[in-house]
């Protein structure tokens, strides 16, 4: 997926039913390394838990 201007690992994790730590690990990022708009983010999520 492509990150929007207001996306964070926490907001994406809530949307896709996972944790911010898992998304950071999958994308090889740290807590202090924010997303930038237009950046590609890999999300592995259980479709049954995703809110969108």
- Tens-place pLDDT, residues 1-50: 999 999 999 999 999 989 999 999 999 998 888 899 999 999 987 777 76
Q: How far apart are CA 37 and CA 18, in angstroms?
A: 21
The Cβ-side half-sphere exposure at 12, using a 13 Å CA radius, reads 24
Instruction: Specify the pTM.
Output: 0.82
Tell me, which fold does domain 1-44 have in CATH? Membrane-bound Lytic Murein Transglycosylase D; Chain A (3.10.350)
The span from the CA of 49 to the CA of 32, in Å, is 27
CA–CA separation, 32 and 43 (whole Å): 19
In 3D, which of 12, 2, 42 has the Cα closest to residue 26?
42
Q: Structure tokens of 38?
A: 């237009």
């Amino acid at each position: 997926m492509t990150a929007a201007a207001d996306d964070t690992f926490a907001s994406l994790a809530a949307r896709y039913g996972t944790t911010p730590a898992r998304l950071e690990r999958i994308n090889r990022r740290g807590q202090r390394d924010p997303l930038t708009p237009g950046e590609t983010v890999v999300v592995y999520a259980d479709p049954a838990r995703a809110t969108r």
